[in-house]
Amino acid sequence: MSSKVTAPKGTVDLFSPQINKWQFLEDKIRSYFSRFLYQEIRTPVFEHSELFQRGIGSETEVVQKEMYTFKDKAGRNLTLRPENTASVVRSTIENNLLNEIFPARFFYIGPMFRYEKPQKGRQRQFHQFGIEVFGDKSPRVDAEIIYSAVNFLEEIGIREIQTEINSVGCPVCRPVYLEKLIAAAEAKAQDLCNECQRKIHTNPLRIFDCKNEKCAAISEDFPKITEYLCEECDTHFEQVKSSLEILQVKTVLNPRMVRGLDYYTKTAFEITSGQLGAQNAILGGGRYDNLFRDLGGGDVVGIGFAAGMERIILHLQDLEVPAPKKIFVIYQDPSFQDAAHALCERLWRLGYRAIMEYDAKNMKKQFKKGDKVSAAYSFILGEDEVRDNTVSIKDMSTRQQETLKQEELESWLKNNI
Ligand code: HAM
């Protein structure tokens, strides 16, 4: 016998009953975010690698270590998308969507790919839903999208979340801050771990992410970005905070928050959950006022967030998604198969979920099959029913049975399913 082919490391297959939670979540995303006039956008799963190098930043971990990059047969350098913001901006520029769609607000749901070490809540193919808003500079948008993220998670039943906010400044104030940070880190270099020593000159903000307790204690005293914001960034951040109060969103200021993608300017935020262990970030996002320009578009600002759907699903483990009611059509004798098939057709045409066993020999086996598909009702065609043009309906949970005329069937279905 040949050996089995398995799914690649870091990927999972999704099927019933787990898939019910995914469908529940996807339905909620679509209905909830339509309140804010988001429209769905679907971009390709692979893009030119250059998009992510320029968009996310060539020095980031995502671009340096985590991208699935390959050459196609014509030698094009392509990458499976590690995130979707760069793609949505690319698509908006390429398709001139700012002139086509107003408001320019997009949501997406789909798989992303990062070559990371798989663990609980972390996969190599994972799923995000996200939103992006283009062309709106107002700090009220920042507050609105943070509000919508928190409120959405609460509405689907996720509790115990913490929302952290920060401002990461802009190309005017961040270089000034980074100089101060590098100077402070250099002064303590000999006490930092090897990895942090290396980061001082490659990606100093990442020192704040170090899990080493000693490094964390030392970086506690490092200068904070919020102390170095330029006037524009500072005013913007103050207005975001006051708008968040109006919308009654509770947030915690975390000036040490580091986002893993380089495009952020001004507001950045993250929602974490105490219940998730090491991979506790459920959702992250922020403003990216220069990404359009960096990708060859005009002077258009943007802001958005994305959430890890696997991590949300981990929170929904106790959720009971009510299964739609199913009907199993049962016949007493093989000669009634045509009548049963016709009854199925009637049910399908009316929009109900129904199935029958095509070559059943006896009723007992059909009832067993009905239980196996968790049918709510069995519709039975026996000798009497076929002769009298009726159908008997058995409620599979109460085991009660009633007989209806065929013409009464439609109103019975409307009342019971
Ligand atoms: P991100 O913080 O890189 O942001 O990812 C957002 C969320 O995706 C994370 O908070 C986490 O829940 C989930 N996630 C990331 N990597 C994995 C993984 N390997 N396995 C499972 N879940 C994962 C972005 O991607 C930005 N594009 C968000 C954004 C949109 N910013 C502005 N607009």
Q: Give the atom of ligand 1 at the shortest distance from the alpha carbon of 281.
A: 10
CA distances, 63 to each of 85, 311, 362 (Å): 14, 23, 62
Residue pair 77/69 in contact by the 8 Å Cβ criterion: yes
For residue range 176-235, what is the model confidence (pLDDT) as tens digits?
A: 999 999 999 999 999 999 999 999 988 899 899 888 899 999 999 999 999 999 999 999
**Ligand 1 pocket check for 114: Cβ under 6 Å:** yes
pLDDT at 27 over 80: yes
pLDDT at 293 over 90: yes
Supply the pLDDT for residue 214. Answer: 92
Short-list 123, 104, 113, 29, CA closest to 66: 113
- d(CA 257, CA 397) in angstroms, rounded, equals 53
Give the Å distance between the CA of 110 and the centre of ligand 1. 12
Give the Å distance between the CA of 195 and the centre of ligand 1. 23
pLDDT at 276 over 80: no
Give the Å distance between the CA of 101 and the centre of ligand 1. 26
| Mean pLDDT, range 145-155, rounded to an integer | 97
- d(CA 354, CA 362) in angstroms, rounded, equals 19
Name the residue type at position 367: F
**Ligand 1 pocket check for 148: Cβ under 6 Å:** no
Q: pTM for this one?
A: 0.93
**Ligand 1 pocket check for 333: Cβ under 6 Å:** no
Supply the pLDDT for residue 59. Answer: 84
Short-list 344, 410, 336, 337, CA closest to 378: 344
Query: Which pLDDT band, with edges at 50, 70 and 90, does 159 fall under?
Result: confident
Short-list 385, 389, 395, 391, CA closest to 416: 395
**Ligand 1 pocket check for 204: Cβ under 6 Å:** no
| Mean pLDDT, range 44-56, rounded to an integer | 97
Supply the pLDDT for residue 300. Answer: 97
**Percentage of residues in the chain with pLDDT exceeding 70?**
100
Among protein residues, the one whose CA lies closest to atom 20 of ligand 1:
122
- d(CA 384, CA 339) in angstroms, rounded, equals 13
Give the Å distance between the CA of 74 and the centre of ligand 1. 31
Bridge partners, 269 (sequence order)? 165, 285
For residue range 371-410, what is the model confidence (pLDDT) as tens digits?
A: 999 999 999 999 999 999 999 999 999 999 999 999 999 9
Query: Which pLDDT band, with edges at 50, 70 and 90, does 277 fall under?
Result: confident
**Ligand 1 pocket check for 83: Cβ under 6 Å:** yes
Lowest mean pLDDT among 42-46, 165-169, 275-279: 275-279
pLDDT at 1 over 80: no
Supply the pLDDT for residue 278. Answer: 74
- Supply 103's token pair: 């408001």
Supply the pLDDT for residue 153. Answer: 96
- Supply 335's token pair: 């000669």
User: How do 267-273 and 161-167 pair as beta strands?
Assistant: antiparallel
Residue 89: strand, helix, or coil: helix
E strand or H helix at 19: helix 18-34
pLDDT at 354 over 90: yes
Mean pLDDT value across the chain = 95
Give the Å distance between the CA of 119 and the centre of ligand 1. 15
Supply the pLDDT for residue 194. Answer: 93
How many CB atoms are located within 10 Å of the residue 384 CB?
Answer: 12
- d(CA 66, CA 7) in angstroms, rounded, equals 19
| Mean pLDDT, range 21-50, rounded to an integer | 97
Torsional class of 286: left (φ above 0), alpha (ψ -120 to 50), beta (otherwise): left
Among protein residues, the one whose CA lies closest to atom 12 of ligand 1:
308
**Ligand 1 pocket check for 61: Cβ under 6 Å:** no
pLDDT at 275 over 80: no
**Ligand 1 pocket check for 243: Cβ under 6 Å:** no
- d(CA 378, CA 375) in angstroms, rounded, equals 7
Short-list 246, 292, 264, CA closest to 140: 246
Query: In 109-157, where does DSSP find H-type helix?
Result: 139-155
8 — phi, psi (to 5°)?
-60, 150
| Mean pLDDT, range 315-342, rounded to an integer | 92
For residue range 278-291, what is the model confidence (pLDDT) as tens digits?
A: 778 999 999 999 99
Query: Which pLDDT band, with edges at 50, 70 and 90, does 269 fall under?
Result: very high
Pocket test for ligand 1, best of 311, 312, 314 (most atoms within 8 A of CB): 311
pLDDT at 321 over 90: no
Give the Å distance between the CA of 305 and the centre of ligand 1. 8
